[in-house]
Amino acid sequence: MYKEFSSLNYNMRSSQASIKYLIYHYTACDLVTSLKILCDDKSLNPVSAHYLIDENGDIYQLVQEERRAWHAGKSSWEGHDDINSWSIGIELINPGHGPAYRNFPKAQMESLANLSLKIIQRHKIEPWHVLGHSDIAPTRKVDPGELFDWRWLASQGIGIVPSFEKTFAENYTSLKLLELLKQYGYGIDHSEENQLQIQAVLGAFQMHFTPLYITKQPNIETYHALLSLLKKKNEAFSSRRQVI
């Protein structure tokens, strides 16, 4: 079921920005509370998203896509910091990290996949630009978390996940890993001795791409996953060049 709601929490996108990213979140509260929070402009800290998807698969449109919804907060990707201007945000009902954190049900994921495919086509969003809130705000956010099934979404043609090939040269150093995380898009300043930020970025990457190996520490598995993603991205670019 598709329902239109009207959140009052939006403004205009920056005139410099175009829709480039698709960002997934969980709400960490139930449907009634989520609708209230995402539509209430009287809150001290008003927030919103373009869409909200219930666990039963119902989709609520809260903000029109051409408008700037307020879901990203302080965040960064590929050097952009006003991610709200550059993205569409989708919230998923889920209790969030804590004792009740649970799998995102099939009906909810299927609605998400259908909606995402339309958004991706409409705005020509690249597979590597489909991200979690934790990717763009790793020191503040952990949603949608390791139970969110990125691999299934990739099987539906949404986003990108690594292949576990062992064919990469093992010239691994943790500094190289951090440099490549930045190259992939993460907002990371590895020149600083900022261990908390580095751990947060590693945790965000691992929740998204290696959810069975979340250590928040640099390691060769993370490095291989990242090389695989970069390789897929480069291959996508070079196959396009051949078509042209």
User: Does the annotation mark 179 as catalytic?
Assistant: no
**Residue 151 — φ and ψ, nearest 5°?**
-65, -40
User: Would you say 122 or 140 has its CB closer to Zn ion?
Assistant: 140
- Minimum CB–partner distance for residue 25 and Zn ion (Å): 3
Residue 20 touching Zn ion (CB under 5 A): no
- CA dist., res. 188 & res. 24, Å (int): 20
- CA dist., res. 158 & res. 132, Å (int): 13
Residue of 55, 65, 91, 165 with catalytic role: 91
Residue 50 touching Zn ion (CB under 5 A): no
- Minimum CB–partner distance for residue 32 and Zn ion (Å): 18
Position closest to Zn ion via CB: 25
Sign of CA dihedral 145, 79, 157, 59: positive
The residues with which 239 forms a beta bridge, in sequence order, are none
Alpha carbon separation from 125 to 36, 97, 102, 121, 148 (Å, rounded): 29, 28, 28, 7, 20
Within 114-153, which residues bind Zn ion (CB under 5 A)? 133, 143
- CA dist., res. 208 & res. 243, Å (int): 31
Site string for Zn ion, 70-109 (x = CB under 5 A): ----------------------------------------
Residues at the contact surface with Zn ion, assessed by CB under 5 A: 25, 133, 143
Residues marked as catalytic: 91
